[in-house]
Structure 1
């Protein structure tokens, strides 16, 4: 893999990660509700989910999903259901006392991790995107495993840096949200964003 090819992939990865999506929504929500350190756990979950997607693509499952309407729809509707579930749960959250008290009853770290992991794994568009993108950067005449390793590592590191940025931004914003009314509004906003992401996924057509 040449440096030029890697740089082109790096740029594509940065654009993809910076574009707001379910992962960014999840990270900012956790950062505002539970603080930066606990948001890092959800960021790790997102990256584990991304690694799993790369593994699936590398072993050929990505191609199967790209070609099978049934496989696409199964994963799509699981993702739709999970995102809408997160949105409903966020809508049902009560307004927090104030930002300093949010961490008195934090969500378990295992739950933060598993929620974030599922946000990435249950997004079939990510699999289809990887199937469409990666072949353009893979040299078929060279060993593929090292190339997948380089591209996968690049994507994970880029996405982690971007998500850390989102988490830091969210924790800074949290200081401006101290009343119960503001926290309730924030929950409605993030709930709506999750439901919106699920709705967009629901209308995504198989190609």
Structure 2
């Protein structure tokens, strides 16, 4: 992989990783509710789930999706259902002294990784990365290099969202600010899911 290709891949990874989406809204909400340290399993699960997907798509899973579009459609609506459930859990929570039922545990590593597997945006990015940056003549080595470069950019980029949520934590302790924040995050999750559900 040339330096120009590596820089192009890392630039693409930055744009895809740091822009708003369901996983990043979850990281922001988790950082605000639980702090950065307790959000780390979610952060690493999101990254691992996506990077493992890139690898599997690279070694042939992408062809299965092309041959069986119903699989992609099923994933899209499974994502919608799961994210709507997460939005409901966040929106109904009242924590740090508010009224109602608090969120007691952040999303763990496994659930975070599985979220990426039902995220159509993640599938699309995984396909684009493989088509644009993998070299068929040396498939596995090029895949591993791609994954390493993507991880170097991806983890700090999505970490910005968790860190931002954690920075808001003290401000949200007063009154019902966290409850309002959680309702806002739930709404953003729903709004970020709608385009994925209706994009073919």
TM-score of the superposed pair, with normalisation by structure 1: 0.87
C-alpha distance in 1, partners of 2:191/2:69? 23
Residue 139 of structure 1: which of 130, 135, 139 is its match?
A: 135
- Answer whether contact 1:17 1:162 (CA < 8 A) is retained: yes
C-alpha distance in 1, partners of 2:92/2:12? 37
Aligned residue number for residue 69 of structure 1: 69
Residue 186 of structure 2: which of 182, 185, 191 is its match?
A: 191
Query: 1:175 Cα shift?
Result: 1.6
C-alpha distance in 1, partners of 2:55/2:134? 15
C-alpha distance in 1, partners of 2:22/2:47? 13
SS, match of residue 31 in structure 1:
helix
Closer/same/farther in 2, CA of residues 54 and 159 from structure 1, 3 Å limit: same
1:87-134 CA deviation, whole Å, 9 max, x = no partner? 111111124317xxx8xx7416xx422332222121123213321332
Query: 1:177 Cα shift?
Result: 1.1
Query: 1:6 Cα shift?
Result: 0.9
- Answer whether contact 1:42 1:112 (CA < 8 A) is retained: yes
Query: 1:196 Cα shift?
Result: 1.5
Q: Does 1:178 align with 2:173?
A: yes
Closer/same/farther in 2, CA of residues 107 and 129 from structure 1, 3 Å limit: same
1:69-108 matched pairs, under 5 angstroms: 69-97=69-97, 106-107=104-105
Q: How many residues align?
A: 197
Q: Does 1:122 align with 2:143?
A: no
Query: 1:198 Cα shift?
Result: 2.3
Unaligned runs of 5+ in 1: none
Query: 1:46 Cα shift?
Result: 0.6
SS, match of residue 107 in structure 1:
coil
C-alpha distance in 1, partners of 2:45/2:128? 24
TM-score of the superposed pair, with normalisation by structure 2: 0.90
- Answer whether contact 1:63 1:131 (CA < 8 A) is retained: no
Query: 1:50 Cα shift?
Result: 1.1
1:13-71 CA deviation, whole Å, 9 max, x = no partner? 11111111112111111110001101111111112211221132122112321443201
SS, match of residue 143 in structure 1:
helix
Unaligned runs of 5+ in 2: none
Q: Does 1:160 align with 2:168?
A: no
